[in-house]
Amino acid sequence: MSLKAYQTTQKASESTSQTEYRLFADVTRALMGAKGLAKLDVKLHDALLWNRQLWSTLATDCAVEGNMLPKQLRASIISISIWVGRYSSQVARGEEDIQALIDINKNIMEGLSAQAQNKVAEEAGADRATDTNYSV
């Protein structure tokens, strides 16, 4: 019961970037676990489907009016999503290796990690700027 409470608290206190990072990590772990499996293995197809769903959701969100991401970044995410869908079909047919999908996700994770670190540094700087030292 305490583990569930901890997980609920963790999810409630995560930033959007942290949540996205965690999701990419879970999906990427599934892809890595499916690497080298036979093209008919259910585990491979489940990992590919989960990855496609992740990228499809990101693309859909980027296409929504009012999305605050820069237009070029949204276009890039949509383009990657289309590529992921096509490439995943090739992996499922045994025509391509899954490693390229893993690499794309890891690159995104690196970006999300850097973004989170920058935000923490900015917040720490803002906290220091508002602190007042009253010692004599």
By CB atoms closer than 10 A (0-12, 13-18, 19+), residue 135 is exposed
Give tens-digit pLDDT for 47-62.
Answer: 999 999 999 999 999 9
Give tens-digit pLDDT for 107-131.
Answer: 999 999 887 777 666 667 766 655 5
Closest Cα to residue 28, out of 119, 112, 109?
A: 109
Task: Name the 3-class secondary structure at 6.
Answer: helix
**Residue 17 pLDDT grade (very low, low, confident, very high; cuts 50, 70, 90):** confident
Asked whether the predicted pLDDT for residue 25 surpasses 90, the reply is yes
What pLDDT, on the 0 to 100 scale, is given for residue 6?
Answer: 44
What pLDDT, on the 0 to 100 scale, is given for residue 136?
Answer: 41
**Residue 5 pLDDT grade (very low, low, confident, very high; cuts 50, 70, 90):** low
Closest Cα to residue 51, out of 115, 98, 96, 17?
A: 98
Which helix (DSSP H) or strand (DSSP E) does residue 134 occupy? Answer: none
What pLDDT, on the 0 to 100 scale, is given for residue 120?
Answer: 65
Q: 């305490």: which residue's tokens?
A: 2
Tokens of 36: 């080298």
* C-alpha distances in Å from residue 50, one per residue of 6, 55, 111: 25, 9, 21
Give tens-digit pLDDT for 56-102.
Answer: 999 999 999 999 999 999 999 999 999 999 999 999 999 999 999 99
